[in-house]
Amino acid sequence: GATVIIAMGFAQAAAVETVAKEFPDTKFTLIDMVVDLPNVQSVIFKEHEGSFLVGMAAAMASKTGKVGTILGMDIPPVRAYEVGFRAGILTANVREGLDVEYVSATVGNFNNPSRGKALAQGLIAQGADVVLQLAGNTGLGVIEAVREANGQVWAIGADLDQDDLAPGKILVSILKRIDVAVFDA
């Protein structure tokens, strides 16, 4: 009986395609993937654009010359963020005369905060003083590791403003604004 169905995430694409064909009078909105059917509104984002700016900010804020990221999974939206972040670091290196190195680790899922924390602690031990989390709930562990770190270490939040999780330790957050996309849909 619903007139609009919102499907969150690229992993829902096959289900949306199947069900949208069964219910052609129902409107579907799919976030982060494209299904080309007349009753499906596909919403994709330009994650790389915001993360490019954040990459520049991370490189310019780093005192150790090493920044990193924790990836939840190697999937298209996360990869788009990561590619933009690396490009921002490279651009800051060239434009600002920096020599900032990039390091990363992939967890394998979005719901393992303890693993995210351990990997972030590893990057911090390698000298990373800015760590971007692209890991969903796993990223909560990344932010915890930064909050507990000695010295000036920054976290970068993703998808929403995460400053309240570690006040004074969040350099910036990349706002994707899925909330606005869903509301507009």
Q: How far is CA 63 from CA 71, 72, 129, 184, in A?
A: 23, 26, 7, 41
Q: Is the pLDDT of residue 121 over 90?
A: yes
**Residue 145, pLDDT score:** 97
Instruction: Give the mean model confidence (pLDDT) for residues 55-72.
Output: 96
Two structure tokens written together for 161 = 């403003």
First to last CA, the chain: 18
The neighbour count for residue 106, using CB atoms within 10 Å, is 16
pTM: 0.87
167 Cβ neighbours under 8 A, 6+ residues apart: none
Q: Is the pLDDT of residue 1 over 90?
A: no
Specify the 3-state DSSP secondary structure of 82.
helix
Q: Is the pLDDT of residue 77 over 90?
A: no
